[in-house]
Structure 1
Amino acid sequence: MSLQQPRKPNLLESMACGGLAAAFAVNFTHPIELVKTRMQASGGTIGGTISGVMKNEGVLSFWKGLPFAYGRELSYTSVKLGAYAPVRNLLGAGEDSPDAPFYLKFLAGALTGGVGSVIGNPFDVCKTLAQTNTDKGTSLIGLVSNMMRDQGIAGFYRGVEVNIIRACILNATKMGVYDVTKGYVTETTGWSRKDIKTSFASAFVAGFFMTVTVAPSDMIRTKLMNQPTDAKLYNGFVDCAQKTVAEGGVLSLWRGFIPIWARFAPQATLQLLTIEVIYNNMGFSGI
């Protein structure tokens, strides 16, 4: 009797798996992102930022904005991570098309990342404001209320242009490199694509390249989203980039590289390993 072959999940099934995997992973990576966001907003060092948070706000403050992070992962990441495989397959670059050009994998990542970023932008804005909020008297509800009062619904879409750019670059790199690396690892080691070792090695490589390509847009996104609710410091993506370079030089666009990598590497690994495990348990074929 032959074993039942794994089937490809449909779009909704894959998105649900992606959202659950991302929500699980963010519990562990959120403190790293808070440090990264604080560094980008203030220009401080890793050590100074961590010690400042510990001294002035306490250990639990490293998880500031976690409810918004859940909302972001269940919206944005469910699309960028979960929808990747169905979109890739639709473009003709799935596992059953080994000769498909690699750029189709990057295109699938860019498409799902861009769409997901628009859906998740309000959660991104709220999460950034919560992570940079040092006022113990301002609650999460207060941050949302202040934004609605000062800027209305449009305020929750501040920085959406750079967020789309960032998401396209990030997800194209993350999913494209992960997918291509999985093929390379299976060819050189003999491990199967569903082997946990294959997923781990591929996810770690993807995390590094994500950091290199995404750091500049991540910096600009943080600055745009972290503007006070009652003030506008930058007139969009280009103005923010010009002012950032004028103040700190071109390399300042990569400020926070280490904490960004420290977040991206484990986050990509946790997300991708978790979704692969969920796929296996559900009887689905992997990415």
Structure 2
Amino acid sequence: MGFACSTALIAVNFTHPIETVKTRMQVGAFNFGHMMKTEGFAALWKGIQAAWLREASYTTVKLGGYGPIRDALGAKDKNAPFYLKFAAGSMSGSIGSVLGNPFDVMKTMMMADSGGKSGSSEGLFARMGKMHADQGISGFFRGVEANIMRACVLNGTKMACYDGIKGYVNEQTGWSRKDPRCQFLSAVGAGFFMTCTVSPFDNMRTRLMNQPTDKKIYNGFLDCIQKTVRNEGPTALYRGFWPIWGRFAPQATLQLVIMDTTLNFFGFDTI
């Protein structure tokens, strides 16, 4: 778990700006030039404190828990069924998503805040206090059902594809599963496939989490999908696809390669 936490905290600093752009695109019209002019370059790192806490909880569990759960399901062998590896990733992802949901909510709201350079944007603890005053503890778990579904699909696809592609690359090239080339190609492939499967869930999660603290626009995940498709069309479910991929590709590569390299360096089994 410690290796997973360190990996997550390193990777998020590089991918957070892409996440900010993606979030702005999902919640409404977005103009990069206008953001730079009114908010400055630092706006790309809005919500980074919440992102650190989110990675320390959610990503630590989803990455660190995959191996033990996979082994418990009897799927450690490279020829194990894909669905067992997917199930292991889904389980670790869903557990992590519940633990990290409060920080996910804060991160989403902070990134979506277009307050200018004057300091109108609220800090993490100010937002947490306001959320608690308006909605209590339940406010920190808004969108949790969408987050769990997103995490199941995302981590199931990510870890199962990474694990499976490593086996395929090993067979086709003879490269060891510990070879950085094998790890890199597998991580890039996993990043693409997880983007394809998770985009609709990511969009719905962002909308649910970014609702005003004092009212609800959507009554849950299904209501959010129905209203989005009815008002904006089905393509809205894939809004921000390229920024999502632009974030997932380097993030998956950094997380998985750094984690496997670290595990190998200290003599532990890699994924």
Q: TM-score range by the shorter chain?
A: over 0.9
Structure 1 residue 34 and structure 2 residue 24: aligned?
A: no
Structure 1 residue 127 and structure 2 residue 107: aligned?
A: yes
Which residue number corresponds to residue 192 of structure 2?
Answer: 208
> Per-residue CA shift, 1:54-88, capped at 9, x if unaligned?
11101111111111111111100011111111111
Which residue number corresponds to residue 12 of structure 1?
Answer: none
Structure 1 residue 74 and structure 2 residue 56: aligned?
A: yes
Which residue number corresponds to residue 37 of structure 2?
Answer: 55
Displacement after TM superposition at 1:16 (Å): 1.4
Which residue number corresponds to residue 244 of structure 2?
Answer: 260
> Per-residue CA shift, 1:114-157, capped at 9, x if unaligned?
11100100010000011011223222222111101110110000
8 Å Cα contact 2:170-2:177 kept in structure 1: yes
In 1: Cα distance, 2:251 partner to 2:160 partner? 16
In 2: Cα distance, 1:190 partner to 1:53 partner? 48
* Structure 1, unaligned runs of 5 or more: 1-14
8 Å Cα contact 2:78-2:164 kept in structure 1: no
Which residue number corresponds to residue 205 of structure 2?
Answer: 221
Q: State, as a whole percentage, how many aligned pairs show the same letter.
A: 57
* Structure 2, unaligned runs of 5 or more: none
1:79-90 matches, cutoff 5 A: 79-90=61-72
Which residue number corresponds to residue 187 of structure 1?
Answer: 171
> Per-residue CA shift, 1:151-174, capped at 9, x if unaligned?
011000000001000000000000
> Per-residue CA shift, 1:13-45, capped at 9, x if unaligned?
xx111111011000000000000001001143x
Displacement after TM superposition at 1:52 (Å): 2.2
Among 105, 108, 118, the alignment partner of 2:98 is 118
In 2: Cα distance, 1:131 partner to 1:201 partner? 31
Structure 1 residue 152 and structure 2 residue 132: aligned?
A: no
Among 61, 81, 88, the alignment partner of 1:101 is 81
Displacement after TM superposition at 1:233 (Å): 0.6
The TM-score, its normalising length taken from structure 2, stands at 0.96
Supply the AA of the counterpart residue of 2:20. Answer: L
Displacement after TM superposition at 1:277 (Å): 1.6
Structure 1 residue 17 and structure 2 residue 17: aligned?
A: no
In 1: Cα distance, 2:36 partner to 2:264 partner? 40
In 2: Cα distance, 1:114 partner to 1:139 partner? 28
Report how many aligned residue pairs link the two structures.
Answer: 267
